[in-house]
Amino acid sequence: MKFKKTHLITLLILLTNCTPSQATDPYILVLGIGQDGGFPQAGSKAGPAWDDPSLARRATALALVDPDSGERWLFEATPDFRSQLRQLDLVAPHPDKPGLAGIFLTHAHVGHYLGLAQLGHEVIGAQKTPVYAMPRMREFLSTNGPWDQLVRYQNIELRPLEEGRTQVLNSRLKVTPFRVPHREEYSEVVGYRIEGPNRSALFIPDIDSWEQWDELGTRIEDMIASVDVAYLDGTFFANGEIPGRDMSGFPHPFISHSMQRFANLPTSEKQKVSFIHRNHSNKTLLPDSPERRQVLEAGFALAEEAERFPL
C-alpha cells in the first residue's frame, strides 16, 4: 500500500498516542484556527461554510492540559469561548466551572479577549479565574467596561506578565511571553513560548511582519529552531485574496511570503511550522484547495481544530 507523505508532527502525535505515557503527558489542544471572526465570518454573504457547517472553524485558541494535575489553561478568550470551553470539557473534564487554572491573552483585538465576558455574573459567574496579561492589557481590562466589572466582581483576577519573564505553572509546565510588532491600539501584543517536560511550542497568532521583527533584533528562524512546533500567523495566503483591495500593506505576513522566506530551511525545521489564525478569505481553510495543497507539499503544516501536540 502506498501512503501519502505525512507531516512529521502528525506522525509524532500518532506515535505518541500509541505509548503508555500519552495518558499523562501534558499537551496542547487546538480549539480554533480562524482569524478573529472565524469561518464563515459575519457579513460574508456566500461561501461553502454557510452551506456545509462541517467546514466552519472557530477563532484561534489553544488549550494547555496537564492530565496529571487536572489543570487546564487557555491561550486567548475568543468570541467562540462557549463552544471551545465545551470541547475542552469533553476532552479533559473538570468538576469546577469553568475549571480553568488560567487564561493567557496575547492582545486587545476582538478575537482574542471578548470571551472573557462569558466569565461574568450574567453567564458562568466565575470566581477569580486567573487572567495573565501585559501591563497595558491589564490597564485596559481594569478601566473599561464591561471588563472592569469582571475585575470588581472578582470573576477574573488579573495576573501580571512581563516580557521575557517565565511563568512557572507547575512542576512540568512553564510559559514565557515575548513582544511582537503588531497594531497596539489598546495593548501590547505578545506571543508565547510554552514548555513541557519533553517538548516546547511557539504561539504567534498575530504579527505585522517577520522583517519588522528582524529590525527589532529577533529572527523568526531562531525562534522556530528553539521549539518543536511553531503555531504562526497565517491570516492571509497571498495578496489578491480579498477582491478589489491591495493587501500589500496588511499587517500580517502572507503564508506565501513565509513559505518563500523559509524555503531554504532544513526539512526538519519546515515541518515545525503550523499556520494558524487563518482569515475567512484564506483558501487553505478548504480541504481540496490548491492553496492548501501548496502549503502541505512545501513541507509545512496547517493547524487543525482538535489536534493535540504532546509536550
Q: pLDDT, tens digit, for every residue of 120-174? A: 999 999 999 999 999 999 999 999 999 999 999 999 999 999 999 999 999 999 9
In whole angstroms, what is the distance from residue 161 CA to residue 144 CA? 19
Q: Is residue 48 part of a domain?
A: yes
Phi, psi of 218 (to 5 degrees): -125, 130
Using only C-alpha atoms, the chain has a radius of gyration, in whole angstroms, of: 19
Q: pLDDT, tens digit, for every residue of 67-122? A: 999 999 999 999 999 999 999 999 999 999 899 999 999 999 999 999 999 999 99
Flag whether pLDDT at 11 surpasses 90.
no
In whole angstroms, what is the distance from residue 277 CA to residue 233 CA? 6
Q: Is residue 1 part of a domain?
A: no
- Local confidence band at 9 (pLDDT 50, 70, 90 cut-offs): very low
- Local confidence band at 14 (pLDDT 50, 70, 90 cut-offs): very low
Q: Is residue 142 part of a domain?
A: yes
Q: pLDDT, tens digit, for every residue of 261-301? A: 999 999 999 999 999 999 999 999 999 999 999 999 999 99
Q: Is residue 3 part of a domain?
A: no
- Total count of domains within the chain: 1
In whole angstroms, what is the distance from residue 79 CA to residue 162 CA? 26
Flag whether pLDDT at 1 surpasses 50.
no
Domain with residue 189: its CATH number is 3.60.15.10
Q: Is residue 191 part of a domain?
A: yes
Q: Is residue 2 part of a domain?
A: no
Range of the domain at 80: 8-310
DSSP readout, 138-199?
HHHHHHSTTHHHHHHTTSEEEEE--TT--EE-SSS-EEEEEE--S--SSS--EEEEEE-SS-
Q: Is residue 246 part of a domain?
A: yes
- Local confidence band at 245 (pLDDT 50, 70, 90 cut-offs): confident
